[in-house]
Amino acid sequence: MKDEPETSSAGILKGLRIDLLIAIIALFMSSLATAGSWWQTHIIQQQLNAQVWPYVTTTATLNPPTMTLAVSNDGLGPAVMGSVVATVDGKPQHSYVAALHALIGPHLLQRSGGKAAHAQFGLGGLSVGSVLPPGATKPLFLVRSDRLALPLAKAFGRLAISTCFCAIVPGECWRSSSSTSRPERISACPEIADDLLHDNLSDVLKTGL
């Protein structure tokens, strides 16, 4: 009769251990379900974001007598332009005219015949924050000249263009270069001193062709 309390206590402790084990297993299963639900939501969010990802590329085309440098959005969503930077032989150029001078030399208008009818230079009008729709192509700069287009086309191998662009989803930005095939993902487009998206016709007139 004296052993009965001990047996009863052992049974209670055993029952508590089983209940604790069941509670731990239930908590573990609940955590797994929560983690699985979070991961599924994360994957769905990534898939939704991917549906609005842009993919900006730069192209140089020669259609004599016109040479055009353009950007295209080959992605699924609109691209918010952050920056365009040009380098010639690895050196940053502060304007489109500076890039042209670095490629084929100065006094472009004079060398093309000395008359505006013999050469035309144009800016595409893109600026920081401009939106490039999916499938759209817009010129950055163009030169129309019988004398300059072909030399410029031959020199374009020395030119590299780096672009930074963002999706409409905050924090989804990329930096790409004409010398690489895969854009680098970044959180935001940084401010760049030699950003060509700040270039305009008044700067072209100040620089002189």
Q: According to the model, what pLDDT value does residue 42 have? A: 45
CA angle in degrees (0–180, nearest 5) for 77-87-204: 90
Residues 41 and 95 in one domain: no
Residues 101 and 148 in one domain: yes
Residues 89 and 31 in one domain: no
Residues 6 and 70 in one domain: no
Residues 124 and 168 in one domain: yes
Is 70 exceeded by the pLDDT of residue 201? no
Is 80 exceeded by the pLDDT of residue 120? yes
Is 60 exceeded by the pLDDT of residue 6? no
Q: According to the model, what pLDDT value does residue 1 have? A: 47
How far, CA to CA in Å, does 107 sit from each of 66, 104, 125, 199, 202?
18, 10, 23, 19, 17
Residue 63 lies in domain: 56-207
Does pTM surpass 0.85?
no
Number of independent structural domains in the chain: 2
Q: What is the mean pLDDT of residues 20-49?
A: 64
pLDDT in tens, 143-191: 888 888 888 888 988 999 999 999 988 889 999 988 777 889 999 999 8
Q: In terms of Cα–Cα distance, which of 138, 107, 119 is closest to 66?
A: 119
Given pLDDT bands bounded at 50, 70 and 90, which one contains residue 27?
confident
